[in-house]
Amino acid sequence: MTSSTTQHSTSQHSTSPQKSARHSTSGRGSSGRSTAAPGSQPAGPPGTAPSAAGSMLRQPRVVWAIAFACVISFMGIGLVDPILTSIAAELDASSSQVMLLFTSYLFITGLAMLFTSWVSSRIGAKKTLLAGLALIVVFAALAGASGSIGQIIGFRAGWGLGNALFISTALATIVASASGSTASAIILYEAALGIGIAVGPLVGGALGEVSWRAPFFGTAALMAVGFLAIVVFFGKSAPSTGPKISATASFSALKKPGLRTLALAALFYNFGFFVLLAYSPFPIEAAAETVGIHVGAHELGLVFFGWGICLAITSVVAAPRLTRRFGLHAVLYAMLGLLALDFVVLATFTDRFAVIVTAIIVAGLFLGVLNTALTEAVMESTDLPRSVASSTYSGVRFMGGAVAPAVAGPIRDHLGLPAPYWTAAVAVLVAIGVLVLGRRTFAQDHDIPSESAEDEALAISAGDA
């Protein structure tokens, strides 16, 4: 990360100015080893080294409370997927209607992301976290109690608002509240993120076998536990010492050519991402019927558990290493090309159960790298505060995700089962075209030194939120 970007502090989210000052000076070398700044933690006796694992596990209770809530929040990405077909059957809804559960969630999440840095810079980290968690608890419970597909769609929008507020603040708060090195806090956050993404579909499938309502009520209950834990363990927030961020900061940020190019590319890429996530349960079910296999919520949960494991591993582990080894440009073009090819396979073999399941799981490998690499490119291509750059980019790209489920159903109805996958392949190719045409506007490979641990985690979390 260039010096101009690493100097931007997340202190507007922090609960401790001292901790904020400490973590802003720690980084990670190209080999991935953490390098603590002087004063970041007491030095041990000569010849000894602190235990990274021990340091990571010896955290204040508030850090564990936020990490737990992070797991549940990231579970929400894939939690609904296994129960889409059950909701359609139980509520007599079409596949197009059911996929709008993603559209309402992503549209409001994207819209809210444009303003989260403004909100948190004024009310502080604790209030922003609690507001987000409270909204998730309320709207997840209401979705579970719904009697119509229209009600669930509306309540998912409220859920999206809560998720935007929580995720935009969680990383900075964990870093500010953690004991020991910043790197240990980041590892803990990344672990929570990976667990949530991977386990979400599995939990959704298991609870979905009981009822399609169970995953919603389960999320509400777990988030309520997280809410109470943060209320109990989070001390009184220190007054914000960072600059107040303008409500229009995200819109002004789009004037930056590099950010604008990457956000537009991510919009088309995210269209493909959410065609895969929102639409795929229906082709899987249809392909399974042709070979006499019953696919319910549990089976769909296992498929997307495999997808989530692949996404989590590559976003947290593989992406930072690949971008350091080959450079952002090469990684972005290669992964987008492979993803487009994966969609071609899905479109060509939509009626082959084994092929479609394998292709969906393998797609998780490419998606994980892309989520992190694109956000990393955003961080490298602007001197804006990281919270503003991340929220602006996320707001735009989520709009692509919101459109995908809304159009996938009608496209299938008019053009057939493979058509949404062909459309997704074209969208991903458009994303490549946008990056090629705007390649001079965002970071070149030789401009990308090693990221700090916090910047790396910000890229991962913003990419996977």
86-121 pLDDT per residue, tens: 999 999 998 889 999 999 999 999 999 888 888 888
Q: Report the alpha-carbon distance of residue 227 to residue 409 in Å, rounded.
A: 36
pLDDT of 100: 92
Greater model confidence, 182 or 3 = 182
* DSSP line for 171-232: HHHHHHH-SS-HHHHHHHHHHHHHHHHHHHHHHHHHHHHH-TTHHHHHHHHHHHHHHHHHHH
Place of tokens 């705007």: 438
* Environment class of 132 (CB within 10 Å of its CB; exposed 0-12, middle 13-18, buried 19+): buried
Domain ranges for the chain, please list them: 58-464
Tokens at residue 130, please? Answer: 């609690």
Instruction: Give the pLDDT of residue 25.
Output: 35
Look at residue 22 in the predicted model and tell me its pLDDT: 36
Indicate the residue type of 20.
S
Q: Are 64 and 49 in contact (CB under 8 A)?
A: no
- pLDDT single digits (tens) 430-448: 999 999 998 887 755 434 4
With cut-offs at 50, 70 and 90, classify the pLDDT of residue 315: confident
Residue 158 banded pLDDT, cuts 50, 70, 90? very high
User: How is domain 58-464 classified at the CATH fold level?
Assistant: Growth Hormone; Chain: A; (1.20.1250)
CA nearest neighbour of 165 among 230, 212, 218 = 230
